[in-house]
A = this chain, B = another copy of it.
Amino acid sequence: MALVLVTGGRGFIGTNLTRELRSRGHDVWTCDILQGEDPLHVRADTSVYQQMEAIFRKHKFDYVYHLAAEYGRWNGEDHYDNLWRTNVIGTKNILRLQERHPFRMIFFSSAEVYGDYDQLMSEDVMERIPIMQMNDYAITKWAGEMQCLNHASMFGSETVRVRPVGCYGPHEYYSPYRGVIPIFVYRSLTGEKFSVYRGHKRIFDYVDDTCTTFANIVENFKPGEVYNIGSREDWAIGIEELAEIVLEATGASPVLAEYKGEEGFTTRVKVVDFSKARRDLRHDPKIDIREGVRRYVAWTRKVYNK
C-alpha cells in the first residue's frame, strides 16, 4: 500500500479519486485551497510554495496525484490570473518539491492540449504534428506537460501524464463554467434554458470509471508515459442526443433546450484513441451515458434539493 497525496483533493475528480484510492487500502492525504473536515486534509494553495513545502516536510509520499487546477476554457479566459498561478506556477512548485523528495507524480493534463486537431487523437500526435492550443486553459495544460518533460530530462523525476476527456459525475458542482452535462442537468432541474450547439460530437466518461483507471496507475507506473483517459471510442455522442437523454432523465420540459448552430472556436467532432490506457492501465469503462446521467441527476437533485 502506498502513501499518496491528492492535490485539489476537494475538487470534482479529487474527491472521487481519493475515495477510490482509499477503498484500495492506500493512505491518502488531500490538499486543496479549501479547508476540509477530513483528518487527512490540509489546506494549501499549490501556487504558494511554502504551503506545499510544509506538507512534504511532514510526509514521504510515494505518489502525488497533481489535480489542483483551474478547469475549463471560459473559466480560464475570465480568471486567467488564477489559471496561470495555479496550473503552471503550482505545477512548477510540485516539480521543485519532486527534485527534493523522490515521489512519483501523476500530472493531470487535458485533451484540450490537442487544440483543433480533428483526426484521431493518439497520445503521440504532438510528436508528429505541430499543434496550437486555442485558449489559455489549453496552453496551461500543455505548458505543464512540457514542464514535466523538462524536469524529467534535467532531474530524472518520474512523472506520468494523463489527458482526461469529458469526465463527469457526482461532486461536479454546478457553475456556468462547467461542461455540458452539469449545465444541462442543473438547468433542467432548475427550469432554466440551456444552449445546445448542433453538429458537435463528444466523448463523456463517468467519473467512477475514470477514477478506476487513474487509481490503476500506481500498479503499473511507467515514468514518462502519457495517456488519454476517457470512456470508449464508440461511446462518442452528439450534443443534441445528450440533451435528449438529460431531458428524459430529469423529466424537464423540452423547451428548455435552445438549439443553435455550430459553436465557434472549438472542434466539431473529437475522436480519441484510448488503446494505450486499455493496454497499460486496464482501462475498462462500464457505465454508459444513460446510466451515468441517471446517477448524476440523482446526485444533483440531492445536493441542490431539486
- Measuring CB to CB, which residues of chain A are less than 8 angstroms from any residue of chain B? 49, 80-81, 84-85, 88-89, 92, 126-136, 139, 143, 146-147, 149-150, 153-154, 265
CB distance from A99 to the nearest CB of B (A): 11
Copies per complex of this chain? 2
- Which of B89, B139, B265 contacts A147, CB < 8 Å? B139
B131 touches A146 (CB 8 A): no
CA distance A131 to B129 in the complex (A): 9
A7 CB to nearest B CB, Å: 17
Q: Which residues of B contact A89 (CB under 8 A)?
A: 80-81, 84-85
Minimum CB–CB distance for A134 against chain B, Å = 6
Known: A129-B130, A153-B265. 13 other contacts (CB 8 A): A80-B92, A84-B85, A84-B88, A84-B89, A88-B88, A126-B130, A127-B130, A130-B130, A132-B146, A132-B149, A134-B150, A136-B150, A139-B147
- Of all A-B residue pairs in the complex, the 7 with the closest CB atoms, nearest first, are A80-B92, A130-B130, A139-B143, A84-B89, A84-B88, A139-B146, A81-B89
A136 with B147, Cβ < 8 A, contacts A81-B89, A84-B89, A85-B84 known: yes
B-chain residues with CB within 8 Å of residue A146 when the two chains form the complex = 132-133, 139
| A133: B residues at CB distance < 8 A | 146
Q: How far is the CB of A85 from chain B (nearest CB, A)?
A: 7
17 contacts between A and B (CB under 8 A): A49-B81, A81-B89, A85-B85, A85-B89, A88-B88, A92-B136, A127-B130, A128-B130, A129-B130, A130-B130, A130-B131, A132-B146, A132-B149, A136-B147, A139-B143, A139-B147, A154-B265
Bound state CA distance, A129 and B129, in angstroms? 6
Query: Which residues in B have their C-beta under 8 angstroms from that of A131?
Result: 130
Which single residue of chain B is at the shortest CB-CB distance from A127? B130
Residues of B within 8 A of A132 (CB): 146, 149
Residues on B with C-beta less than 8 A from A147 are 136, 139
CB distance from A202 to the nearest CB of B (A): 21
Instruction: Select the residue from A127, A132, A265 with max chain B CB neighbours within 10 A.
Output: A132
Chain B residues whose C-beta falls within 8 Å of the C-beta of A126 in the assembled complex: 130
